[in-house]
Amino acid sequence: MKRRRFFGLVAGAAAWPFAAPAQQGAGMRRLGVLAGYAANDSLGQLLAAILPRGLAALGWSEGQNIYIDWRWASGDPKLYESYAAEVVALRPDVLVVQSSPAVAALRRSDNAIPTVFVMITDPLGQGFVNNLAHPAERRAPRPVATMRTSTPR
């Protein structure tokens, strides 16, 4: 149950930048997802099921007003690099990035697309953000939300 709740929060964070346009009846938007899982991995399947459901709860319907570009790196460093370049070239409105290697690959792609980090260990220590209180101060990628998955000590 904790996984479902977690991925529900991810969907909400990913949809946050879309909230105003959804209320205004804007056209088709694009969400890029770069995941470290394999598409057939149980957690990958959970993400693929829950993200669209969470977006739908906020008024976003895949194929009607949002298109989701999925890239599954399966933990392969070469795939992270090529998929990061691919998803940035698609020019999504927002990126959802799961795993530290995926964030690192996106940083090397020098993009400025708003990004939601998911399941990232120590984004401050890895240099993904300058400040946890204001993560958007980092240039590339520019996170719109980060989620703490453990309590600080």
Name the strand (E) or helix (H) holding 34: strand 29-35
pLDDT higher than threshold 70 for residue 18: no
Whether domain 2-18+28-145 has CATH 3.40.50.720: no
Residue 142: pLDDT band (50, 70, 90) is very low
pLDDT higher than threshold 50 for residue 22: no
User: What are the pLDDT digits (tens) for 34-43?
Assistant: 999 998 999 8
**Domains of the chain: which residue ranges?**
2-18+28-145
User: What is the model's pTM?
Assistant: 0.71
Residue 1: pLDDT band (50, 70, 90) is low
Mean pLDDT of the chain: 77
Using the structure block, give the residue that is written with the tokens 């697309």. 113
More confident residue, 52 or 8: 52
φ and ψ at residue 91, rounded to 5 degrees: 55, 55
pLDDT higher than threshold 60 for residue 77: yes
User: 70: burial class by Cβ within 10 Å (0-12, 13-18, 19+)?
Assistant: middle
User: What are the pLDDT digits (tens) for 83-123?
Assistant: 999 999 999 999 999 889 998 898 888 678 888 888 888 88
For residue 101, cis peptide bond before it (omega within 30 degrees of 0): no
SS3 readout for 60-90: CCECCCEEEEEEECCCCHHHHHHHHHHHHHC
